[in-house]
Structure 1
Amino acid sequence: MGKNKKKREWRKKMEEKGNVPKTNQSGNDEEESKGKDPSPPEAGVSSGPSVSGSLPSSSSGQNQQRRRPNALPSDINALSFDDKVEKLSQLLCDPSQLEGLELMFTRSGLRVSTELVEEVLKKSYKAGAAVQKFFQWAAPQLGNKHSPYAWNLLVDILGNNRMFDAMWEAVKSMKGEGILSRHTFASVFTCYAMAEKANEAIMTFEVMEHYGAPQDVAAFNCLLCALCRYRLTSRAQDFARKMIDKFPPDADTYAILLEGWEKEGDVAKAKKTFGEMVVRIGWDPRNTAAYNAFLGTLCKGGQVDEGLKFLHVMRSRNCHPDKSFYSTAIHALSLQNKAEEAAMVFDTMLRCGYLPSTTTYNSMISAYCYAGKMEDSYRLLDGMVWNGAFPDSVTYNTIFHALLKAHKAEEAASIFREMMRNEFDPDSDNLSMALMQKDLELATMVGRHLSRKGVFPDILCITVFVNNLCENNKRGDAKKYVEDMLAKDHKVSDEMLKKVKISSQSEKKDTDERSSKKRKDHH
């Protein structure tokens, strides 16, 4: 009842403005009988001149343009296609150039093509008003026939900039040229959903047929997809239930809704929608997207165990999620430090013929490292290349961190050497942890390698590292490390400089004393 009242109020308001067909006593729309289009939902945002309107020609704008240097080079047409696109998109995206823009184009002698207009529009999404002017100005050079793709880009740009009145003017122009498509309305749905205007998106769907566009299941699902993408899943589901007789939900409908609940992280509503899907359309092996979204919602919502139970039920019905679910589940289990469960899902993934990505391998390796199962981590590290996945910085740093934490200096040194061979460096946490190790051989190797690259930890870690070197008769290494810091313009405290200097003198004194003693013994 409330929704119908709002629609009546909207219609009354638009009738007063003269934008919506008034209903005569016979119940027929007067404007429709005259062959006019019903107006779209009220935008409430000023859009400037219409797309098909005449070019502004105020003398004040021209005078201002005369006083301002032309931002377009005189040889604009001599530029390469890519350079011309870049120059024009930069100009359109500069708000200070909006006034007198058309005159600037005319004075430059700019020549355009359909391809040029399309590419400039693609690079100027934030410049709604300027794009509108450019589009109008370019039309005569193209015989007043922009391509359908350019028109769709214009609709999308105007909607993205919340210039909804101008957007609808463009839609009307497209209808006049007979080039409206479902893609056009999908853009309108998305722009309204992005602006959190669910009512306007739904009303747009309701007037599609008046614009000659089919109001079919595909368009219906486009609307739901736009709403769900921008966290308006509840509105999407309410409308789907309202239209259930005209548009019975299919596999795509349920997949869209479940993906919406996954985005919003609503486990309870995802379960309810999934149950409704099974009752209405049954188990369909082709409905992979729905299974992925539902299981992903459970895993991300901390209900991994329940997700695995549902996976077992699905597989018994010959319904399988795809690779994305397994990756999501393994990552979620890794975060929960459930190495055994993650390994089970990992093995199932391999048996189903899906090859894990490097990211999935990293999640599995992390789970093993946290559980202290270093041999299993090494096994995955050695075997991942055979499945087309290659170790990256995260892979090595995960293992290196686990070895440092377990004080396994020899194994950590081995992994570090492999990292160096593959040109990967420890991250900042691992660098600090390595330099503070009791094993000074490992600490020195890591410190010297990274100091040559100008990479240093925080001052506290540096102080501990240098002190450890000095106290363990490695004064030369300490001095070299500080010299590397100075060479890389890294800040060094006076206290540290003093300590290294004293240590170096002490080392020289010790060396001289040992040499003198050897000479005496020789004589």
Structure 2
Amino acid sequence: MKMSLLRFLNFLSKTHRKPIAAALFTRSLTTYSKQSIERRIFNRNSLPGHETSFGYSSTLHRIIYRSIHEDLTPKHLSVEHYEKNPAETKLEQDAARICTLLSTHSGSHADKLLEDASIKVSPSLVVEVLKRLSNAGVIALSFFTWAEKQKGFKYNTESYNALIEALGKIKQFKLIRSLVNEMKSRKLLNKDTFALISRRHARARKVEEAIEAFERMEEFGFKLETSDFNRLLDTLCKSRHVEKANKVFDKMKKRRFVPDIKSYTILLEGWGKEHNLLRLDEVYLEMKYDGFEPDVVTYGILISAYCKAKKYDAAIELFHEMEAKNCKPTPHVYCTLINGLGSEKRLSEALEFFERFKSCGFTPEAPTYNSLVGAYCWSMRIDDAFQVIDEMRKHSAGPNSRTYDIILHHLIKARRTNEAYFRFQKMSNEPGCEPTVSTYEIIVRMFCNEDRVDLAKQVWDQMKAKGVLPGMHMYSDLITSLCHKNKLGEACKYFQEMLDAGIRPPAKMFSNLKQALLDEGKNDEALNLARKINKLRGTPLVVGDQK
């Protein structure tokens, strides 16, 4: 595939609600003393010693709770395994090397370095690199263009879909349409491709285009089924277009599709995330009217919705209703309640649900322990949270990078930023705890908020050296901080790097940078930035003639 990238890359470089059921059980939880529950969770005398907190304080660093604590409770829980076979390790090492090269060099120089690196290209390596470059669409496209010329490259659906995901994030929808046609000619299209395109349109607030992508599957020879309909609903709901999803449901119901229980639970989850219990109740009643009784997934979604709306007593009553109907709560349900009650500082109840979880025969795994870690942290009992981490190690259930993300969030919230940085530095030494992009974002933002921009840049460089690429929010934090320190030359450098990755800057950040330049009399630089932004918005990447 010959991509006409030069033109593009050249300019870049230069209501109080009652519970749903009318008659819910109101029995209270079995009462344990707080101390006896905690003794059941871990025996303090048997645990390895843990490091005490340092007690440093500094400027309060605010991090969005949702991004750290959400999705701790996947529907399918599995034990964490840290031992990898040599082939997996080699693939990850090669992918990291490639991403590091691409993030620090560009154009033909990057191509030469890739050639000199003598890395053997394989379909699995291409997919791994593209996934790691999902926040840098232009770089992902450059890599794909280089890789397809290498021995060992093979076109497959997974690599195309990974590229489409990266390009969708920078709204290169015209190029994506060309890639779809190319995939069709190679007989590599599948329904996942259209689901990806639909999701990227929805995330870009192009709702009608998202629906159109769903509809176009028929044009390419795919038969639309209820599962595809559900996927569209899920895409719209998870992109915060729940009202539109509900309208699509009403329009298509029984005309084109017969909804199943999953159709209803998707809408229930959507309204739950919007904290709209009135609409949630309406969908629930419609579901029951159509003959569907709540199953374990439905109850989990309802309990989660009430926890998000801070109706914890109602959530607990739903838990009891679930048990009374012989619908056994899953680990997901327990995690939801431990998370919710912990965030409300109802620690003793959260601990009791953890104890009930174990008494039901479940073996705690990383997501469950992470919920418990979060519960202790919300009550600022961080030393106890570290004892839970020791317990995780003893049972080979973690910790993982998300465990430390939770700890870091609460240390920073408690103004213990030096300790947060100390813990961050130790993460890489623990199996399964390599910092992720979200971890780096936490620490970079912490230093930016404290006007310690040199340390923020140091962490940034560590991240890039490991082949982890920053996203829009990280660039925004660092550039804004540099503007506040009047380091406009450096701010412009990172801004250019952001554009080189194809990332469109947030309007507010760009406005602040432009104004800072104007205030310093740097009118030409401000005008140059404005031109680059306009060109980025108006210059799509193009697919040329295919091989």
SS of match in other structure, 2:189: coil
Over 3 Å counting, the alpha-carbon distance change for 1:259 and 1:97 in structure 2 is same
1:40-439 correspondence to structure 2 within 5 Å: 52-53=1-2, 85-93=95-103, 97-98=106-107, 112-141=121-150, 145-245=154-254, 246-284=256-294, 287-334=295-342, 336=344, 349-350=357-358, 352-354=360-362, 357-359=368-370
> What is the CA-CA distance between 1:112 and the residue it aligns to?
3.9
Q: Give the conservation status (yes or no) of the 8 Å contact 1:326–1:349.
A: yes
In the alignment, the residues of structure 1 paired with residue 187 and residue 277 of structure 2 have an alpha-carbon distance, to the nearest angstrom, of 44
> Whose radius of gyration is greater, 1 or 2?
1
> What is the CA-CA distance between 1:229 and the residue it aligns to?
1.7
Q: Number of residues paired by the alignment?
A: 317
> What is the CA-CA distance between 1:331 and the residue it aligns to?
4.3
Q: Deviations over 1:271-315 (max 9, x none)?
A: 22222222224225xx32221111111123122222233333333
Over 3 Å counting, the alpha-carbon distance change for 1:174 and 1:205 in structure 2 is same
In structure 2, give the amino acid aligned to 1:166: L
In the alignment, the residues of structure 1 paired with residue 208 and residue 380 of structure 2 have an alpha-carbon distance, to the nearest angstrom, of 51
> What is the CA-CA distance between 1:204 and the residue it aligns to?
0.7
Over 3 Å counting, the alpha-carbon distance change for 1:117 and 1:353 in structure 2 is closer
Could you tell me which residue of structure 1 aligns to residue 43 of structure 2? none
Give the TM-score normalised by structure 2: 0.48
In the alignment, the residues of structure 1 paired with residue 353 and residue 116 of structure 2 have an alpha-carbon distance, to the nearest angstrom, of 66
> What is the CA-CA distance between 1:145 and the residue it aligns to?
4.7
Could you tell me which residue of structure 1 aligns to residue 405 of structure 2? none
In the alignment, the residues of structure 2 paired with residue 363 and residue 107 of structure 1 have an alpha-carbon distance, to the nearest angstrom, of 46
In structure 1, give the amino acid aligned to 2:314: E
In structure 1, give the amino acid aligned to 2:162: L
In the alignment, the residues of structure 1 paired with residue 146 and residue 264 of structure 2 have an alpha-carbon distance, to the nearest angstrom, of 45
Q: Deviations over 1:180-217 (max 9, x none)?
A: 11111121122112212221111111111101233212
In structure 1, give the amino acid aligned to 2:238: R
Over 3 Å counting, the alpha-carbon distance change for 1:126 and 1:361 in structure 2 is closer
In structure 2, give the amino acid aligned to 1:207: R
Unmatched runs of 5 consecutive residues or more in structure 1: 1-51, 66-79, 371-376, 393-426, 430-523
> What is the CA-CA distance between 1:218 and the residue it aligns to?
1.8
Unmatched runs of 5 consecutive residues or more in structure 2: 15-89, 400-413, 417-547
In the alignment, the residues of structure 2 paired with residue 359 and residue 108 of structure 1 have an alpha-carbon distance, to the nearest angstrom, of 39
Over 3 Å counting, the alpha-carbon distance change for 1:102 and 1:57 in structure 2 is farther
Q: Give the conservation status (yes or no) of the 8 Å contact 1:93–1:127.
A: no
Over 3 Å counting, the alpha-carbon distance change for 1:308 and 1:110 in structure 2 is closer
In the alignment, the residues of structure 2 paired with residue 319 and residue 240 of structure 1 have an alpha-carbon distance, to the nearest angstrom, of 28
In the alignment, the residues of structure 2 paired with residue 258 and residue 302 of structure 1 have an alpha-carbon distance, to the nearest angstrom, of 16
**Structure with the larger helix share:** 1
Give the TM-score normalised by structure 1: 0.50
> What is the CA-CA distance between 1:102 and the residue it aligns to?
6.7
Could you tell me which residue of structure 1 aligns to residue 34 of structure 2? none
In structure 1, give the amino acid aligned to 2:340: A
In the alignment, the residues of structure 2 paired with residue 344 and residue 271 of structure 1 have an alpha-carbon distance, to the nearest angstrom, of 29
In the alignment, the residues of structure 1 paired with residue 178 and residue 215 of structure 2 have an alpha-carbon distance, to the nearest angstrom, of 18
> What is the CA-CA distance between 1:328 and the residue it aligns to?
2.7
Over 3 Å counting, the alpha-carbon distance change for 1:92 and 1:221 in structure 2 is farther
SS of match in other structure, 2:247: helix
Over 3 Å counting, the alpha-carbon distance change for 1:219 and 1:93 in structure 2 is farther
Over 3 Å counting, the alpha-carbon distance change for 1:247 and 1:110 in structure 2 is same
Over 3 Å counting, the alpha-carbon distance change for 1:143 and 1:272 in structure 2 is same
SS of match in other structure, 1:190: helix
Percent identity between the aligned chains? 27
Over 3 Å counting, the alpha-carbon distance change for 1:333 and 1:212 in structure 2 is same
Q: Deviations over 1:45-75 (max 9, x none)?
A: xxxxxxx4565689x97xx99xxxxxxxxxx
Over 3 Å counting, the alpha-carbon distance change for 1:268 and 1:142 in structure 2 is farther
Over 3 Å counting, the alpha-carbon distance change for 1:281 and 1:173 in structure 2 is farther
In the alignment, the residues of structure 2 paired with residue 180 and residue 389 of structure 1 have an alpha-carbon distance, to the nearest angstrom, of 41
Over 3 Å counting, the alpha-carbon distance change for 1:288 and 1:54 in structure 2 is same
In the alignment, the residues of structure 2 paired with residue 363 and residue 82 of structure 1 have an alpha-carbon distance, to the nearest angstrom, of 30
In the alignment, the residues of structure 2 paired with residue 147 and residue 351 of structure 1 have an alpha-carbon distance, to the nearest angstrom, of 47
SS of match in other structure, 2:133: coil
